[in-house]
Structure 1
Amino acid sequence: MSMRSCARLLLNCIVFALAGNGSSSAQHFVFSTYGQGSGLTNLNVSSFVQDHTGRIWVGTESGVFIADGARFIKQKAFDDAHVELTRAMHEDRSGRIWVLDSRHLVYWKDGVLRPIDQFSAKILSAEGVDLVSVSGDPDAIYVLQDGKLRRISSTDGGRTWQVTPALSPALLQQYKELRALSTVLSVNSALWAGCGQSICRLDLAQQRVQVFGNGEGVAPDTWKRFLLTRDGSLWARGGKRILCLPHGASRFSAPVAVPKNLDLNVQEASLLEDTAGNIVLNLAKGIASLSGRNWHTIDEHSGLPEDELQTLFLDRTGDLWLAPLGHGVMRWHGYGEWEGWTTSEGLGSNVVWSSARDHAERLWVVTHAGLDSLDPRQNKVVSQSASLPFKRLYTVAVDSRQHVWTGDASGQVIDFNPQNGKARIATSQLGRIFLIKIDKQEHIWVCSRAGLSFFSSADGWTTPHLAANGFPDGYAWALTEGADNTIWATTGRGLFRLQNNRWEHIDLPFPGGTSYNFMIAAAPDGTLWAQSKKPSPMLHLKVAANAAHVIGSVDTAMLGSDNITFVDTDSRGWVWVGSDNGVQVYNGTRWVQCTQDDGLLWDDTDFHGFYADPDGSIWIATSAGLSHLIHPEHLFTQEAPKVQFAEVRLANLDISGQPNRSFDLREPALSVRLLNTNYNRRNAIVYRFRLDGLEREWQDTDGALIRYPALNPGAYSLSVVAYDQRLHLTSSPLTLSFTVLEPWWRRTWFRSIEGLAAMLLLYGTWRVSVHLLVLRQQELEALVASRTLELEREKCELLNTRSALLETTRRDSLTGLLNRAAIFAEMKSMCATAFGTGTPLAIAMADLDSFKSINDTYGHVFGDLVLRECAGRIGHAVRPTDWVGRYGGEELLILLPGLTRSDAAHRLEELRLAIAGTPICDGRASVTVTCSFGVAWLDPTPKEIEVLVTRADQALYLAKQNGRNRVEFAYEGDEGVLAKNHHLVTHADRESRSRASFSALTSKISVETHRDLDATPA
């Protein structure tokens, strides 16, 4: 078995469960997940729209995105229009993309976003909304919101819009059900609506209403979604039931009862019809689909996110998109085409080697853990380990008696009878068993390391026989049977054919054919398909006499890998080739590749892991489980790629909608972003492009961006095609022509001007001398102006230097704060402003607590460090409009303009914590420094600045007395020491009052001493 070195990103497998009649089933499927890494900046998706060009639009809670095949591109125009909480999207009959969010209604057409200013709403998150257009009314959109239906229409082709009620007051008065609509669907020229607890058909042109209630088979319910199927039937989904109105009928009915475990009551209901005609809907937990009369469900127990699926969407290729709440977007790979089984569904191991079906339609599967069966009645895996306790089985076949034959790694061949549960070891010591195959004559062939052996019906399949009559010794690797019953086998010695009970050696046309294992398959026309290494990994051979001749080959580029794991044919004659890069299929005309992107569980297939079911479906064994391709015929009906220009920019101009135009640009860059609307083929697409006028050869890129850095003047034509590497199909060519004009000085009109200028030159020559004196005078004036400008520049530099020196004189050299003179000058200016405008002004005096003890304990160098650090912390904590200065010593003066008394406690607490919140360290010591604050406000009546400072200083003194590390405020109008405490709780608050008074007094004496020594004169 060949193992891949890494898994593809963004693909995860989830389990599919069948509910109904008390039974359950499970299959495995493959999904892609698109999240923030795929461009979705918001993972709550509310709506999908696929427009007439094939582009998929996605509405989210943060705007609108377009899927370009690999990523989601956010549409900036919707952001500019403030469209955010998208609730609904719809494309009308004229190709407009309408988007409704919680407040706005806008539409996009021809690259322009236009708002409907006349529409206003405030839509709640849980409120149901709908957008719908009606045939025959191309310039109108109907909006359902708050239970009311409004018509937004235009009579001038979309230049202006009018908002009117869709239903007349007379209708609303006559039919009370119309006052609370829940959902709408356009069918021809009419609207179907959930109206109250009933269903209504609205003929808007005639203003007529038909109500469907109990008498018409509609039981009371809240109807949340309608669906018109391809056969013309109308389906209605409510909170409790699902009804159908067949085409031409006049009465609704419930085609299949809804099981009790299906919770239909969801906020955003979806109701879809897939390509197989199944009805698909989202549930409160998971998804349900109605196929015939059977309900199938998939929920969080199978791997889906536990949150509700906000919406479901089927694109035009039949792929199912899901939007789990808060999980972005998920796309189901191979929806309706592929299913699988893994250990999650009961297999003993994810490493699956082979499978075969018996006449009772049970599928027998061998894995690395033993033998399992897939029960067709319950559609679930049943382990056979109790009856067949063998591990590491590699191959399986079922004979006409319904006995199951398998082989293991030790060389045992086991004959298992499922009817009685008994098993016998038919033979052993064959080394590893590679393949067991049953031919049309009921011979059971065993390819093993010991050689080729077989069991015959002639002796009841009891005795093993070694292949003789010309068959060589050594291992046998593969075996196939032709349409004419010829047996072909590959061994360590090459290719052999059994004819007339004798083995004949076939000369191979490629070198090294006997030195490695190779697979082989017989085609219905008698030719052979054989694995090779040179010249190609796969050869088509025709055998004449005893020699094989090459009649065709398949190279590595076509297969995607030369590590072949199986080669086989089915009843159609199609050739199937497995590798570690998926499966290749050849229908006689072209090859198609199947990978995990298409729904295969894993790209790494296993040796001899192919089984063609009698019903035409195909089973593929992989190292991640067993995959089942339900409709192989659909592989060759897939469409060729469809590519379009998402954006073409020439320099800064978007020219995607402007073909054959000319542009007056200097060496512009060309940037092209492509959009592939075959979303299920995004990893298979290669873009081939050529810019005629610049190059002759085609270039390839697997990205969606093409760029040319600079284009010279000339005519250009960009041609692009998309090539699907797995379908081997090419899109229709996409072209865009444009012209980059010559520079103006190279154009004809300029050359004419040049000739005229030459004639005028002769006339102007004689006048040159006249102007020489004038030019000389102008030159002198220019010199004077230049010198004047230089002097002005020097003067400016001197002024800047002077300003810098002046600023230096205003700053304290130790702390970098304003010195005493500068802070008093600022305070004088602020007081004048405060008196003039009536705005509050707070003066805070701050003093470091026990600063003298810091100097005494750690020295004045550390004390200076403390002063600088505290000054810096205060400087960072204040507002840009505040001023901080050094009043003297360790005292700081803080000016707080605009600070009201109601905000003061919180603001000053921030300043206090800016100092006390973090210890100060210098590598030798770590000290927690605290600071006390006294705050005073400027009175309404003018006073001397010294009085304001004195009041702040008195409040500071009170803070010291009350235990330090706190803020005290001076009362308005009191010249004494009056202050109140604003809920500052510190360690000092918890000390005893006697100790606080003593410390405060000591600190005050120290502060006054430092103030006298260090203060700078005002």
Structure 2
Amino acid sequence: MRRFSQEDGIDSSYIFRMSQDRLGYLYVSTRRSTYFYSGKRFYPIRALNFAGAASLVAIVRPMPDGRVLVIQGQNIYLSISATSARISPNVLVFQHLFVKGLQQIRNIFVDNEDIFVLDSSGLHSCVLNPRYNLGCNPTPLFAHRRENVYQNGYRTYVALHGEASLRDLSGRIIFRAPFGMQHPQPSPGPSDQVPYFTDGKTLISLNDVGRFSATPLNWPIEFPLGGARATFAEGWGDTKIFFDGDSLRSFNGAFWSYLNHDLSREQDILFAFIDRNRQVWTAQDLVELDKLVGWGDLENLEPQHIRYVWSVLPFSGYQLLFSGQGMYPVDKHVIGSALRDGNYYFALKDSGHSFWAPVDDQFLLHCEVERTSSHCDRQIALDRVVALALSRRSHLLWIASDAGIYSLGEAVQAQPKPIHGRDGKTVSQMARTLALRADDTPWAVIGTSLYRRDADGAWVSVLTEWPNAKDFIPMAMTFSSRDDLWIGGIRAKNGLMHLVLDGNRISRIEQIGADRVGSELIFSLLWDKRHRLWVGTENGLAVYNGLEWIRMTRDDGLLSSNINQQGLSEDEDGSIWVATSRGVSHLLHPERLFERQTLDPVFIRVALGDHLLPEKAVPFSRDPLVVTLGTLNTALANTTYFRYRLEGVDQNWITTTTGEIRYNFVPPGHSRLVVQALNDNRNLISPPITLEIRMQRPWWTTWPLIMLYTLSVVALPYAFTHLRFRYLLKRQHRLEALVDERTIEMRAAQHALEQQARQDGLTRLMNRRTAEASVSRLLERLSRLDVRSSTRFATLALLDVDHFKSINDTFGHVIGDEILAGIGARLLRAKHQEEIIGRYGGEEFLIVIQGDFAAARARIATLLGTLSDVPFETKIGTLSVGCSAGIARMSPEEAWSDALERADQALYKAKIAGRGRIVVSERDLDDEGYPD
């Protein structure tokens, strides 16, 4: 869910209504103003925010021809032109319509091309003439009857008082409810409502194509609904939204559920609006505009009482949720009471309602479960099980753990058996992950190598060196066919590999980069029944259908972009469960990810200097050209960017993520600005839109003046040469005086450049090159000391800011830079003269301290405390950051890069162990107790 505030261009006063025109522009009416949405932010409609209109709530009614009707107070306006890719609502010109013979105007409606006005006496049909006079029939359509009037798309419907039916404007009944209770009459306020009928047990509502459907209501409802509060229902296809006066619920075609935690509480909600990209808009407590991204395609579970959710195991009609606090049943997106306590990471179904699950990094349990109960009949002691696979032929359970690979028979008394190699010896290295081939042959990553089980039961090595990086650590693997193996992991630039097999050997390895899956860190893989590969990363979800890669992130509706290891699972209906660091996202219709969409780029504002650029030739000007772009695809707006090119000026495309374009000068004549919208997550490029710029040539480039210039070239050479000679003599003396002045300035500038070459511009610490040179000089100086001296050694630390990418993703790179600058300032204040502290890259810092190892380690802990104990002041408020560090001991006898590598490995262990800590490298930890 994305929430919009004043930073996004919209005020926080009461939000009453929304509408969408033929092209796709969204309009929002608040108590203070009327806005339209560009896909990036909101802009006020300039023509509707005139003096005295601040207290008038506008009703925006789009017409089928693309023009826009607006009622503001007792005045009705009509845009002269329709919106287009070149004409946004920001530049619409409105004509006041003169209306006679009506009483107090309440609303305006459109039925196909016809206009109807609702006043205090009823609904009147009106005709618009070319002079912008709106002639209305003084006799209401339904005389002597009270009616409720509803707008649905470009059709208008009427429900007469006392009838449980809906009529068109000809009076014909188009739907009659099977029960006699109609929903409460709409208030005369400025909000729109779609007609629906209910008796408190069944909801009959209208969807986007004008069809009624009945849906059971499975929660107790106080009827009649609402009381003093508004109630409403909206629908799209077989999905619905219903507000019963207390809370907002969504129907996904199978059952009702809350849209999210914020919308489940009791509150005032006046409307919900479903745009043409199936995005739901609503206003919490009337003042907070929200967009529910991905409604109808995915649903999110945000457990408020469960701290860590690791994975979901689907069963027929319900699911099990595995978390750090226990195992919970999930029925229709409602989380029940815990079935068992403990830290449950993931599970593997073996048959029916039974499964295997590792618990607390100590045991492997076999349990049977029903919706509200569970029973575990086997418990096997095994440390940190990371993967499971069940052979359907041999009925062996294959277990990957820190102690290695084990097989377990189905007999109750069976115990795990370790595997052995070709030499008959037990293979006891730590296992990373495993998967079964189509012939039930297990393959696994053991230690740093890829193994398979041979026909005689021995395990043989298949791959010992990873082509993407020597330090690559596999985290997940799966087969998509007998000869296609996918392996994902971390610590490599290309974190996903596709291994093509030829029998039992590898014939080809394809490396999949972050440009296709969205990240270098791969945590989870899933091959589903519809032959799609799902990839869970720390930057979202990627899916491959054999033809193209599609990506999803939090901007597309996921609760979080950080996908858990073993966090992907497929339900029996083909939907996909995605466990993230913040909860669970359920992809109800994965196939929709591959539906082709249009990005619909538009020009929001085109200005030359301070004035809007008209669609005709303008006088020559040196004012800058400023263009604001937008996209009408509200579902993909957050991940869409633009590229543009001014023909005759730009040779290559220029990209912008903000949608802002600026040219300081536009050449006279006819120019064309070509723009395209792009979305890398969905592999979309829009057709180009073009801005025609016609600028008159300046007067000094006209033909008479060109002739005068030619004559001047012939007549003035002598005078010019004479004046030039005198000028050069004066210039020579002036230059001689300037040489001395410039020499002094250049020396000062050289000194400043030398200072910049040594410092990091953001943190004011040593940059990487200076820090490395300082360490080399320190080691050279230490090598000359007595070998028995305790000061002959130094301690090297690599410090990393925890979750720094999340800070950038959540608050932006500007806030991230503020944090880095604050870290540099604190380290400079705390730094001792003999210490080496520098920025090593990104959010990593290098610290080198000479002397006793224990004292240096304590000093490093003190420096970390100065960063973690006190929050940083930023533009958005205070932010607390955590830091992790890996340290290694350094002596003059070894290359300092070796100590740096050990410190980097220790830093990685600190990250894996939970961050916010200092970890000593294993070799230095072993030497820690010995004297220097």
Tell me the TM-score normalised to structure 2 length: 0.67
Change beyond 3 A, Cα 1:638–1:317:
farther
1:236 CA displacement:
3.8
Q: Which residue of 2 aligns with 1:440?
A: 392
- Correspondences of 1:838-987 after superposition (within 5 Å): none
Contact 2:312 2:320 in 1 (8 A): yes
Change beyond 3 A, Cα 1:401–1:197:
closer
Change beyond 3 A, Cα 1:631–1:239:
closer
Take 1:253 and 1:456, find their aligned partners in 2: how far apart are those partners?
A: 53
Q: Secondary structure at the match of 1:633?
A: helix
Contact 2:346 2:357 in 1 (8 A): yes
Aligned-partner residue type, residue 293 of structure 2: H
Return the match for 1:522 from 468, 473, 479. 479
Q: Which residue of 1 aligns with 2:531?
A: 573
- Correspondences of 1:687-836 after superposition (within 5 Å): 687-751=642-706
Cα deviations by residue, 1:259-297 (Å, 9 ceiling, x for unpaired): 53362456655432213x234333322224566796656
- Correspondences of 1:565-644 after superposition (within 5 Å): 565-644=523-602
Q: Which residue of 1 aligns with 2:444?
A: 489
Return the match for 2:2 from 12, 29, 32. 32
Change beyond 3 A, Cα 1:474–1:675:
same
Change beyond 3 A, Cα 1:608–1:597:
same
Take 2:675 and 2:150, find their aligned partners in 1: how far apart are those partners?
A: 42
Determine whether 1:467 maps to 2:415.
Answer: no
Return the match for 2:271 from 291, 308, 311. 311
Q: Secondary structure at the match of 2:459?
A: strand
Return the match for 2:245 from 281, 284, 287. 284
1:535 CA displacement:
5.6
1:594 CA displacement:
1.5
1:94 CA displacement:
2.6
Q: Which residue of 2 aligns with 1:370?
A: 326
Determine whether 1:176 maps to 2:144.
Answer: yes
Q: Which residue of 1 aligns with 2:123?
A: 149
Return the match for 1:384 from 311, 336, 339. 339
RMSD of Structure 2 on Structure 1 (CA): 3.8
Aligned-partner residue type, residue 644 of structure 1: V
Change beyond 3 A, Cα 1:120–1:95:
farther
Bigger shift: 560-569 or 419-428?
Answer: 419-428
1:394 CA displacement:
2.3
Q: Secondary structure at the match of 1:355?
A: strand
Aligned-partner residue type, residue 36 of structure 2: I
1:649 CA displacement:
1.6
Q: Secondary structure at the match of 2:515?
A: helix
Q: Which residue of 1 aligns with 2:726?
A: none
Take 1:100 and 1:755, find their aligned partners in 2: how far apart are those partners?
A: 62
Change beyond 3 A, Cα 1:151–1:574:
same
Q: Which residue of 1 aligns with 2:75?
A: 104
Take 1:757 and 1:683, find their aligned partners in 2: how far apart are those partners?
A: 59
Q: Which residue of 2 aligns with 1:161?
A: 133
Contact 2:575 2:587 in 1 (8 A): yes
Return the match for 1:131 from 95, 105, 108. 108
Q: Secondary structure at the match of 1:616?
A: coil
Return the match for 1:351 from 296, 308, 315. 308
Take 2:201 and 2:568, find their aligned partners in 1: how far apart are those partners?
A: 43
Contact 2:201 2:216 in 1 (8 A): no
Take 1:399 and 1:49, find their aligned partners in 2: how far apart are those partners?
A: 51
Change beyond 3 A, Cα 1:653–1:212:
closer
Q: Secondary structure at the match of 1:723?
A: strand
Take 1:681 and 1:237, find their aligned partners in 2: how far apart are those partners?
A: 34
1:516 CA displacement:
2.8
Q: Which residue of 2 aligns with 1:536?
A: 494
Q: Secondary structure at the match of 1:176?
A: coil
Q: Which residue of 2 aligns with 1:669?
A: 624
Aligned-partner residue type, residue 581 of structure 1: N
Take 1:445 and 1:105, find their aligned partners in 2: how far apart are those partners?
A: 73
Aligned-partner residue type, residue 456 of structure 1: G
- Correspondences of 1:185-264 after superposition (within 5 Å): 185=151, 192-198=157-163, 209=171, 218=180, 223-224=185-186, 236-237=196-197, 260-261=221-222, 263-264=225-226
Determine whether 1:564 maps to 2:519.
Answer: no
Determine whether 1:118 maps to 2:99.
Answer: yes
Q: Which residue of 1 aligns with 2:301?
A: 341
Aligned-partner residue type, residue 390 of structure 2: I
1:303 CA displacement:
4.2
Cα deviations by residue, 1:339-376 (Å, 9 ceiling, x for unpaired): 233433x6xx3422233234x54422321112222246
Take 2:714 and 2:421, find their aligned partners in 1: how far apart are those partners?
A: 107
Aligned-partner residue type, residue 608 of structure 1: Q
- Correspondences of 1:406-485 after superposition (within 5 Å): 406-418=357-369, 421-423=374-376, 426-428=379-381, 430-441=382-393, 442-457=395-410, 459-460=411-412, 462-470=414-422, 472-485=427-440
1:615 CA displacement:
1.9
1:254 CA displacement:
7.8
1:119 CA displacement:
6.4
Change beyond 3 A, Cα 1:638–1:306:
farther
Aligned-partner residue type, residue 132 of structure 1: F
Take 1:147 and 1:243, find their aligned partners in 2: how far apart are those partners?
A: 31
Aligned-partner residue type, residue 55 of structure 1: Y
Number of aligned residues: 686
Q: Which residue of 2 aligns with 1:402?
A: 353
Q: Which residue of 2 aligns with 1:332?
A: 292
Change beyond 3 A, Cα 1:516–1:113:
same
Q: Which residue of 1 aligns with 2:14?
A: 44
Identical pairs, percent: 22
Q: Which runs of 5+ in 1 are unaligned?
A: 1-30, 227-233, 762-1018
Contact 2:165 2:177 in 1 (8 A): no
Cα deviations by residue, 1:36-69 (Å, 9 ceiling, x for unpaired): 2211124311111111111111111111101111
Contact 1:105 1:116 in 2 (8 A): yes
Q: Which runs of 5+ in 2 are unaligned?
A: 82-91, 189-193, 717-932
Contact 2:475 2:523 in 1 (8 A): no
Contact 1:479 1:489 in 2 (8 A): yes
Change beyond 3 A, Cα 1:744–1:571:
same
1:486 CA displacement:
2.9
Tell me the TM-score normalised to structure 1 length: 0.61
Change beyond 3 A, Cα 1:252–1:520:
closer
Determine whether 1:322 maps to 2:282.
Answer: yes
1:381 CA displacement:
2.6
1:600 CA displacement:
1.6
Change beyond 3 A, Cα 1:290–1:427:
closer
Change beyond 3 A, Cα 1:534–1:257:
closer
Structure 1 or 2, whichever has the larger Rg, is 1
Take 1:364 and 1:167, find their aligned partners in 2: how far apart are those partners?
A: 63
